[in-house]
C-alpha cells in the first residue's frame, strides 16, 4: 500500500515511478514468463468458455433423440457424429462440460472457503476448538473421499446439488489442514506479536496479515484441488453417482459408450481426451503458479 | 519403540469408531434405513447383560454401540436389508479380491514409479527426465476408466495376450487391473522419488563417496537410493487412499467381485447395512495401512527411533512440529 501511494506521489510530481515492487506484481510477471503455465491457463479458460457458450456453438440440444441417425459418422450436420440414441456428440460434450466444470469449480471453491474458515478458527484461536477441529479433521481425512461422497449422496438423496455439496465436504479437510498449518507457522512470526502488542484487533490481524500470507499455498492447493475434483467428479459420473441420465457428464458419457467401445469408440475417446486436456492444463497452470509463488524462487 | 508401536496400534480404535459413527449418523437417519431394523439384543452376550442392567432403550446410541460391538467382537456385519443375505459372508468373499487388486496396484505403482523417478533424477533436465515427467503427468490426468479402456483395447482386443471378463483366479487376470490402478498413482511416486533423490544426491556424504572413487552405479543404487526412499515410505498411506478410488473403478470396469462393486450395487438397492459394512471395511483397510506406514517409517528412519528412545519430550516436540508442517 505504502509503495503505491509513494509511486502515485512521484508520478503526481512528474517523476517516473520506480518499477512496482509488490509481491503480486512480481508473481504475475514470473507467471507470464512461464509459457506452459500460460498455455494451460488459456486452454482451460477456453474449454470453460466453450462449455458456457454451448447454445451458441451448436444448434443441437443434448437430450433430443434421433433414432433414424444412430451412430452417424462425423458430417457437416453432426460435427462429431451421433451416439447410440442419435444424440449429437458435440452437443453432449459441451453441455456435459457445463455440468462437470460447474460441479468441480463450485465444490472446490466452497471447500476452500469453508476449509479456510475452519482452519483459521483452529489455527488462530487454538484452545479447545482446535482440539476438536483437528481431531474431527483427522477422522474425516481417514475416510476415503469417494466413500464420503457415496454415503453422503445416499443419505441426502441423489442429485446434482447434493453431489456438489458432498464433493465440497470431502475436500474440506485438505484445505482446513493446510490453512491451520500455515496459520500456525505465521502466527509465531514477530510481526504478529508486534501487532498484538500494539493492540490491533483480531479481525484486522487476520484480514491484513494472515490472509495475505496464507494466500500463496492456498492458491496452489486450489488449483490442484480443481484437478483432483475434476477426476473424482468424472469417475463418480462414470460410476453413476450423483448424475442422473439424460444429464450429460463427461464421466457418464464414457460409461454409456463403454458398451459400444469396440464398434464405436469415438465418444469414449473424446470424453477421455476432453477430461485429460482439462486436468493437464489445470495441472500445468498449477505447476507454474507454484514456481512463481515459491519464495525460494526456483 | 514398542511403546510407540503399541500407541499407534491403539490409535486405530478411536479412528475406526469415529469413522463408523460419522457413516452411521449419515445412514441411520434416512427414511426407511435398513440399519434401524437391527435388533439391539444379540442373543445373550455380554452387551445384552449390560443393556438389560441399565434398562437400555432401542435408540440411536444403543444401536451404534451394538453395531460396533458386533463388528469388533463378533465380526458380524448384520444382514442385508431386503434380500437378507449374510453381509459378513459376502464381505469375506469379496475382501480377498479387493485386497489382491489394491496390493498388486500398489506394488505395480512402486515398481514403475521408483525406477522412473530415480532415472529422471539421475538424468535431470535431459530428454529422459522430460519424457518421464510428461508421460506420468499424462497418465495421472486421464481418469482410470479411460486407462482401463485403452489397455483393454490394446492388450485384449488387438494383441489378444491378456484375458478380460474371466473368473479372477489366475494371476494373469490381475495384470491389466493392477496396471490400470498403478498408472493413476505413478506420477506422484515418480515425482516424489525424483525430488528426494535430487536432494540426496547433493548431500555431503555422496560427494565423499564419489571422491573416494566409488562407481557411480554403487553411489546411486546402494547409498543414495536407500536414503532417498525414506520419504516414499511415509507417502505410502496417502498413495493407498488415492489408489482405493482406482480400485473401485477397476472393479466396476473389469467386473471384479470386490468390495467397491458390492457397495455400488447396494447403493442402487438402498441396502444401507451392506453400504455401511463395505465402508467400514474400506476405512479399516486404509487406517491400518496408514498405521503400518507410520511404524515402518519409524523403523526405517533412525532419527525418529533415536529420538523416541532418548528423550521422549524431544520426540513429542519434533512430532508436533512435523505434524504442523505437513498439515
Residue A122: is its pLDDT beyond 80? yes
Residues A43 and A94: their CA atoms lie apart, in Å, by 15
C-alpha distance from residue B140 to each of A164, A232, B191, B270 (Å): 23, 12, 11, 33
A170 reaches B (C-beta below 8 A):
no
ipTM above threshold 0.85: no
Burial grade of B5 (CB within 10 A; 0-12, 13-18, 19 or more): middle
Residues 6+ apart with CB under 8 A from B60: B28
**Tens digits of residue pLDDT in B228-276:** 888 888 888 888 888 888 898 888 888 888 888 888 888 878 788 888 8
* A235 interaction partners in chain B (CB closer than 8 Å): 143-145, 245, 248-249
Does A43 touch chain B if contact means CB atoms closer than 8 Å? no
> What digits encode the pLDDT tens for the residues B138-190?
888 888 888 888 888 888 888 888 777 666 777 788 888 889 999 888 888 99
What residues are paired with B79 via a beta bridge? B86
How many CB pairs below 8 A link A and B? 129
A24-66 pLDDT, tens digit per residue, is: 777 788 888 888 889 999 999 999 999 988 888 887 787 777 7
Instruction: Return the CA Rg of chain B.
Output: 24
Please tell me if residue B279 touches chain A, with a CB cutoff of 8 Å.
yes
- Which of the pair, A85 or A14, is modelled with greater confidence? A85
Q: DSSP secondary-structure letter at A20?
A: P
Tell the CATH topology of A28-293: MetI-like fold (1.10.3720)
**Contact B38/A163 with Cβ under 8 angstroms?**
no
Residues in A closer than 8 angstroms to B24, CB to CB, are: none
> In whole angstroms, what is the distance from residue A155 CA to residue B272 CA?
9
- Compare CB distances from A139 to B15, B244, B272 and report the shortest one's residue: B15
Please state the domain extents for chain A: 28-293
B80-126 per-position pLDDT tens digit: 766 667 788 888 888 888 998 899 999 999 999 999 999 998 888 88
Per-residue pLDDT of A251-263, as tens digits, reads 888 888 888 877 8
Is pLDDT above 90 for A108?
yes
Angle at A141 between CA A278 and CA B106, to 5 degrees: 70
Q: Which pLDDT tens digit goes with each residue over A195-216?
A: 888 988 888 888 888 888 888 8
Using pLDDT thresholds of 50, 70 and 90, give the confidence band for residue B223. Answer: confident
DSSP assignment of B111-134 equals: HHHHHHHHHHHHTTTSHHHHHHHH
Q: Which domains does chain B have, with CATH numbers?
A: 2-74 (no CATH), 90-315 (1.10.3720.10)
Q: What is the 3-state secondary structure (H, E, C) of B10-60?
A: HHHHHHHHHHHHHHHHHHHCCCCCHHHHCCCCCCCCHHHHHHHHHCCCCCH
Nearest-neighbour CA in chain A from B154: distance (Å): 11
pLDDT at A4 over 60: no
Q: What is the pLDDT of residue A116?
A: 92
Which residues, in sequence order, are CB contacts of A128 under 8 Å at separation 6+?
none
Amino acid at each position: 500500500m505504502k509503495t503505491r501511494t509513494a509511486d502515485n506521489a512521484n508520478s503526481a510530481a512528474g517523476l517516473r515511478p520506480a518499477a512496482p515492487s509488490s509481491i503480486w506484481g512480481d508473481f504475475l510477471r514470473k507467471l507470464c514468463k512461464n509459457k506452459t503455465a500460460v498455455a494451460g491457463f488459456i486452454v482451460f479458460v477456453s474449454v470453460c468458455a466453450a462449455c458456457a457458450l454451448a447454445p451458441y456453438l451448436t444448434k443441437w440440444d443434448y437430450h433430443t433423440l434421433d433414432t433414424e441417425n444412430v451412430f452417424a459418422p462425423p458430417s457437416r450436420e453432426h460435427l462429431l457424429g451421433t451416439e447410440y440414441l442419435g444424440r449429437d456428440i458435440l452437443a453432449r460434450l459441451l453441455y456435459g462440460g457445463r455440468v462437470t466444470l460447474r460441479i468441480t469449480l463450485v465444490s472446490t471453491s466452497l471447500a476452500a472457503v469453508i476449509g479456510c474458515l475452519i482452519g483459521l478458527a483452529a489455527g488462530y484461536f487454538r484452545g479447545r476448538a482446535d482440539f476438536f477441529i483437528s481431531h474431527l479433521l483427522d477422522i474425516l481425512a481417514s475416510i476415503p473421499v469417494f466413500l464420503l461422497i457415496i454415503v453422503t449422496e445416499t443419505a441426502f438423496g441423489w442429485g446434482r446439488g447434493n453431489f456438489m455439496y458432498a464433493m465440497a465436504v470431502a475436500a474440506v479437510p485438505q484445505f482446513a489442514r493446510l490453512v491451520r498449518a500455515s496459520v500456525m507457522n505465521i502466527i509465531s512470526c514477530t510481526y504478529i506479536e508486534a501487532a498484538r502488542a500494539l493492540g490491533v484487533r483480531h479481525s484486522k490481524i487476520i484480514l491484513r496479515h494472515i490472509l495475505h500470507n496464507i494466500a500463496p499455498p492456498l492458491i496452489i492447493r486450489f488449483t490442484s484441488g480443481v484437478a483432483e475434483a475434476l477426476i473424482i467428479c468424472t469417475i463418480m459420473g462414470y460410476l453413476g453417482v450423483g448424475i442422473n441420465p439424460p444429464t450429460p457428464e463427461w464421466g457418464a458419457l464414457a460409461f454409456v459408450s463403454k458398451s459400444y467401445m469396440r464398434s464405436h469408440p469415438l465418444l469414449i475417446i473424446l470424453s477421455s481426451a476432453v477430461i485429460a486436456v482439462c486436468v493437464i492444463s489445470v495441472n500445468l497452470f498449477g505447476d507454474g503458479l507454484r514456481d512463481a509463488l515459491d519464495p525460494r524462487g526456483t | 519403540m514398542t511403546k510407540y508401536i503399541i500407541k499407534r496400534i491403539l490409535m486405530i480404535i478411536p479412528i475406526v469408531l469415529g469413522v463408523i459413527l460419522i457413516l452411521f449418523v449419515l445412514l441411520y437417519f434416512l427414511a426407511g434405513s435398513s440399519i434401524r431394523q437391527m435388533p439391539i439384543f444379540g442373543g445373550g452376550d455380554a452387551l445384552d447383560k449390560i443393556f438389560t442392567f441399565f434398562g437400555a432403550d432401542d435408540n440411536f446410541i444403543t444401536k451404534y454401540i451394538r453395531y460396533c460391538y458386533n463388528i469388533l467382537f463378533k465380526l458380524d456385519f448384520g444382514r442385508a436389508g431386503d434380500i437378507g443375505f449374510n453381509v459378513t459372508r459376502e464381505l469375506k468373499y469379496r475382501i480377498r479380491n479387493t485386497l489382491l487388486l489394491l496390493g498388486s496396484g500398489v506394488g505395480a505403482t512402486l515398481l514403475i514409479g521408483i525406477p522412473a523417478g530415480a532415472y529422471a533424477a539421475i538424468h535431470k533436465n535431459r530428454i529422459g527426465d522430460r519424457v518421464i515427467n510428461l508421460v506420468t503427468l499424462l497418465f495421472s490426468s486421464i481418469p482410470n476408466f479411460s486407462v482401463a479402456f485403452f489397455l483393454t483395447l490394446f492388450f485384449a482386443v488387438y494383441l489378444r495376450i491378456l484375458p478380460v471378463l474371466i473368473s479372477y483366479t489366475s494371476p494373469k487376470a490381475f495384470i491389466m487391473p493392477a496396471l490400470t490402478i498403478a498408472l493413476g498413482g505413478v506420477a506422484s511416486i515418480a515425482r516424489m522419488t525424483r525430488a528426494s533423490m535430487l536432494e540426496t544426491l547433493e548431500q555431503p556424504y555422496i560427494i565423499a563417496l564419489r571422491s573416494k572413487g566409488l562407481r557411480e552405479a554403487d553411489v546411486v543404487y546402494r547409498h543414495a537410493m536407500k536414503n532417498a526412499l525414506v520419504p516414499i515410505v511415509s507417502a505410502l498411506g496417502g498413495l493407498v487412499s488415492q489408489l482405493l478410488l482406482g480400485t473401485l473403478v477397476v472393479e466396476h470396469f473389469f467386473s471384479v467381485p470386490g468390495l467397491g462393486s458390492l457397495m455400488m450395487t447396494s447403493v442402487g438397492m438402498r441396502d444401507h447395512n451392506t453400504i455401511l459394512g463395505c465402508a467400514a471395511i474400506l476405512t479399516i483397510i486404509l487406517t491400518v495401512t496408514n498405521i503400518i506406514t507410520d511404524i515402518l517409517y519409524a523403523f526405517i528412519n533412525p532419527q525418529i527411533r533415536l529420538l523416541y528412545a532418548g528423550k521422549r519430550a524431544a520426540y513429542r516436540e519434533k512430532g508436533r512440529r512435523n505434524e504442523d508442517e505437513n498439515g
